[in-house]
Structure 1
């Protein structure tokens, strides 16, 4: 599945959540509420990574880690959608900038400058 397909699928799920929230709560989540949900997911992800590394006990194992990584990706896709950001272009630009910046700091031929 490529990024465009992931984005479309993420938006379909987002729209279903909007429909459910309208029905249950009479309103949909604002962008800042999506961000807060993402922060919660990142916290859950941190616990699962710690469990994967043997630093803590968390039920669910590898399947829970996979699920939480997918939840975090969904949140990023939805935040980019809600803010009108082309994530593919932003990713390419950012990786180009990082590659240039990091490469400039690596000594040529392994020698120290």
Structure 2
């Protein structure tokens, strides 16, 4: 799956979530609430990283880590879409800047 397909799939999943939220809560989540959900996912990811270091072991660690990384990526894609950020372009620019700074060291 290429980046554009990932963005489109994230958008479709977000749309479905919005429908469920509207049905359950009477409105869809705001970008602030999506961000708070992302923070929760990052916390879960941190625990799984601890697990990889042997601090919080669990039987399904590799599967859970992959799932949580994907959840976090979905949140980033969703937030970028909500704020009309060209994430592919921004990523390319950021990596170019970092590589240039590293080359100067």
Question: Structure 2-normalised TM-score?
Answer: 0.95
Shift in Å, 1:57:
3.1
Q: Matches of 2:67 and 2:45 in 1, distance apart?
A: 9
Match status 1:26 vs 2:21: no
SS at match of 1:5: helix
Question: Structure 1-normalised TM-score?
Answer: 0.89
Aligned to 2:41: 41
Counting matched residue pairs gives: 105
Q: Say if 1:47 and 1:56, in contact at 8 Å, map to a contact too.
A: yes
Deviations 1:53-81 (A, max 9, x none): 21123463211111100000000000000
In structure 1, stretches of 5+ residues that fail to align are 106-113
Aligned to 2:61: 61
- Give the RMSD, CA atoms, in angstroms: 1.0
Q: From the CA coordinates, give the structure whose radius of gyration is larger.
A: 1
Q: Matches of 2:3 and 2:85 in 1, distance apart?
A: 13
Aligned to 2:84: 84
Deviations 1:38-67 (A, max 9, x none): 111000000011102211234632111111
In structure 2, stretches of 5+ residues that fail to align are none
